A = this chain, B = another copy of it.
């Protein structure tokens, strides 16, 4: 959900103090058209830019729909000036979000070809101001949003453990947050992972391991997961790319999180055409 304040700021940023070429009278119709194969996302955000300026949007595709070159994403009808002013921002939003969704879909397909149950998740490495749009684009691409902000899930990191001790850290944070909040614990070794499971972590984060190391750890943890907590999830992260994803997916981890889903996606190409 975009706020009117956000849309206003973004339009202002693109229009400046004195835009003359869009001072066009009358009404016009237009359509947002994909110029490339990919996964549509940011569509409701793009539509809301037009609607914010009094241009109506009809027959919109849903976020997550696959598109090919030539597909019409939605159609608009309304005042020409406002339509033209909304165009660039709307295309930029849809292109950016769809790039993230397409990027995610690619990763999900590659990983699930190896292990159909593994989840591909985003991170907090998102573009400032676009957290919500990018997280929803990851979901549109079949990925997992991962934690939405620092308050959504607690992550106990190395430095917390070094300073407070694992058990103490877990207990301390459990008291400070709600039952509604899961707690992930970063583990630097198999032993650390076992202790984290025993202490009640909801997720164990295995950061910067090689696929081989990971596989050994995951296998060694089988008993602990069966006996102590069937629900605990194992997450791998740390510089995992489309190229290495295959090997990570084969390790048996439940979740693979990749910053590149959001911070390094190429935009999907759209054009907006008026009649």
**Hey, which bits of chain A sit against chain B, CB under 8 A?**
1, 3-6, 8-23, 85, 88-89, 91-93, 95-96, 99, 119, 121, 124-132, 135-136, 139, 144-157, 159-160, 173, 176-182, 184, 203, 229, 231, 233, 254-255, 259-260, 263-267, 274
Known A-B contacts A14-B150, A16-B149, A263-B266; the reply to A129 vs B21 at CB < 8 A is: no
Chain B residues within an 8 Å CB radius of A8: 3-5
Q: How far is the CA of A8 from the CA of B255 in the complex (A)?
A: 31
Chain B residues within an 8 Å CB radius of A136: 17-18
Chain B residues within an 8 Å CB radius of A173: 20-21
- A232 to chain B: closest residue by CB: B231
Chain B residues within an 8 Å CB radius of A129: 6, 9-10, 13, 128-130
Chain B residues within an 8 Å CB radius of A128: 10, 13, 89, 92-93, 96, 129-130
Could you pull out 10 A-B pairs where Cβ atoms are within 8 angstroms? A16-B148, A17-B131, A18-B151, A89-B128, A91-B125, A92-B263, A121-B178, A144-B179, A146-B179, A148-B152
A-B complex: 4 closest residue pairs judged by Cβ atoms: A16-B151, A16-B149, A264-B266, A3-B8
- A49 to chain B: closest residue by CB: B128
- A159 to chain B: closest residue by CB: B274
Q: How far is the CA of A110 from the CA of B123 in the complex (A)?
A: 33
